[in-house]
Structure 1
Amino acid sequence: MKETLEIIALFLGFGSWILNFVSLQDQYWKESTQDGSVIITSTVYENLWMSCASDSTGIYNCRDFPSLLALPGYIQASRALMIAAIVLGTFGLVAALAGMQCSKIGGENYVVKGRIAAIGGAFFLLQGLCTLIAVSWYAANITQQFFDQLYAGTKYEIGEGLYIGWASATLAICGGSCLMCACRFETPSEKVPYPYQPASRGYVLSTVETSQAAPSNYGRNAYV
């Protein structure tokens, strides 16, 4: 049961790590809304790195954001959190592989391997929290501008990149929770390392054997 939870946690963590990459590279973090528009000639969509525009013929053009410091604060924070999530997920995968009982990495000291696996679970949880904060903060700004009647700029809707980010955060949190639970889960058949004790070269006779084997100095009629 413990090994099964560790394997499930590893697959969940790896899946969240891949989805984190996909979300970060996806161009549709927000897309210009079509609400209230009768004739739609172009569509504008953005992510953390660039802004793109496409027309009705399918031709699109993208440009990178010219300056990092000129960007809004929530975009800069989302960039930092998503990159931190990828780094934390990498550490979590390495720690999970080293701490699994079915792996040969790190020897057979299962106490130390359990602690390493718990550290991997903590990394997965931090990865999920960073991703969740980044995509939720970005989505909160989209919805705030969308429902603001006084906002005169282009209004956007939530894109598919944010949904992929939420899926990545969910998998990471579930994987970290499973790994933490696996470290605390105990079974009667749990492997416990024993210290090496060399066999004794001498042989000690018991008192019963000694009394039976010792020669007697008294004759048969000594107590008569």
Structure 2
Amino acid sequence: MNARERRAARHQPPPTEAGARPRRRKDPITVEQVVDTALGIIATEGYDALTMRRLSAALDTGPASLYAHVVNKADLDELLIGRLCARLTLPAPDPAAWREQIRALCEQLRDQYLKYPGISGAALAMAPTDLETVRVGEGMLAVLLAGGIAPQRAAWAIDALLLYVAAYCLELSVAHRRSEQGDAVWPADRDELVRRFTALPAETFPHTTRHAAELTAGTGHDRFDFTVGLMIDGLT
């Protein structure tokens, strides 16, 4: 089912469960409540904890009643990413400051994603059909075009930047979850990483042992800024 069909289906009555006694709420559920509650679950438990059953329990209703507002998990994902995109402030395109404006938009989106661990995974492989998501793409395109970037390069740059922002935030959420579970792939301590690299046999890993400090330097956001800047500078 495509996005248009899913949105049309929101106006259809929810499916009934044969033989099941419907649960009742004092107040009707709204789409805004569904999204608010879903974001609350993600903020405290992570994106992986969000299921339609978990969401319906938090809303004190049966799972079937959610389908009056969202068709499935993919439809809910669109609403969630759209809500985060609605919080982004789009600048008036400035040809003299387009690099800074694009970088700031990427940072805004990054910060929204990081408030909700794992939610950026919902943005991967998602077609931008929600109007708030399209609004962000429109704003980024306007900034790049104002900076003199050719339309095709600008379009692909937006795709690449959004993909990187989502992947960066997803990696941080995965690392955090593994750390909480005591299953971190890498030690969090930079000195320990340097020790491991420099302890490698130099004849086999000459560059790794020699440049262990550079390989482990910087915070995650330092690397984020570097990569986004590299992508932006490459456009010209």
TM-score band by shorter chain is under 0.3
When normalised by structure 2's length, the TM-score is 0.23
- The structure whose residues are more often helix, as a share, is 2
Q: Which has the higher contact order (CA 8 A, sep 6+)?
A: 1
When normalised by structure 1's length, the TM-score is 0.24
- The structure whose residues are more often strand, as a share, is 1
